[in-house]
Amino acid sequence: MKCPEAVRFPAEVAHLNALWNELTATQVAPPLWLIVLSGCVALAVIAYRPSWHVSRGLITIAHEGGHALVAVVTRRKLQGIRLHSDTSGVTLTRGNPRGLGMVATAAAGYVAPSLLGFGAAWLVADGYITLLLWAVLLLLACMLFKIRNLYGAAALLAVGGAVFTLSWFAPPTAQAVSAYGAVWFLLLGGMRPILELQSKRRRGRAPDSDADQLARLTRIPGTFWVLLFLLVSAVSLVTGTYLLAVRWIPVA
């Protein structure tokens, strides 16, 4: 006589396999003109000050998420994340105040949006749109557990709700175009906060910025760290753009 648990276990495995197959299913890329158009729209949103002021909060989520992820990887104690309505944020960690983990955690924020954009470009270029959307949902859910203010929780829930709605109800073409637009936004938008940071530093308005904290930790000038942030962001943009366009390059 078969045990009920033994019968249930293969069924659960089958459900998990079906879910994994759905997540890793590939989608056909939209036409090249739609990919270019999504990039132009993302650039316009970033370049236009009013729209940037609203959308910059998405970059802040990636920024603080980068701090938090590296803090966990380097075994620092992640105490909490706060996101503010002025699009600023802060990630609180505890551990060695001058160790390598602290340096890596401080350096992760400004490069996180660009690196996330590069990773997303790799998934999108191979057609893994659904996998990308659900990976974003997983990251947002992990951040939600560490949010320590009401506005931050509301912001993550709003973004997560939009991504879930897109992944569950939108047709494949709309998902693909939105994913390409999000990738362009991360790749292009990752650079503007770095340029804004250096502008504030020149005017003495950012004495406690990540770059200046790194300067105090390492005795390497803050300008070096800003240039390093820019280099990582620029390389991510170039390689990410190549990944998005490579399937349209004719083979000789």
**Strand positions, DSSP E, the chain:** 77-83, 89-94
Q: What is the pLDDT of residues 77-113, one digit of tens each?
A: 999 999 999 999 999 999 998 899 999 999 999 999 9
Under the banding of pLDDT at 50, 70 and 90, the label for residue 9 is low
Task: Spell out the domain ranges in the chain.
Answer: 38-247
Contact 158, 150 (CB under 8 A): no
Concatenated DSSP letters of 88-126: -EEEEEES-TTSHHHHHHHHHHHHHHHHHHHHHHHHHHT
> Looking up tokens 């250096």, which residue turns up?
198
- What's the rounded Cα separation, in Å, for the pair 145 and 80? 9
What is the pLDDT at residue 11? 66
Give the mean model confidence (pLDDT) for residues 129-146.
95
What is the pLDDT at residue 20? 75
Contact 109, 70 (CB under 8 A): no
Q: Per the confidence metrics, is the pTM higher than 0.85?
A: yes
Please list, residue by residue across 20-32, b when 16 or more beta carbons sit within 10 angstroms of its beta carbon and e when fewer do.
Answer: eeeeeeebebbee
Is 90 exceeded by the pLDDT of residue 182? Answer: yes
Q: How many CA atoms lie within 13 A of 76 on its CB side?
A: 25
- What's the rounded Cα separation, in Å, for the pair 108 and 112? 6
Q: What is the pLDDT of residues 206-228, one digit of tens each?
A: 889 999 999 999 999 999 999 99
- What's the rounded Cα separation, in Å, for the pair 77 and 10? 39
Q: What is the pLDDT of residues 140-149, one digit of tens each?
A: 999 999 999 9
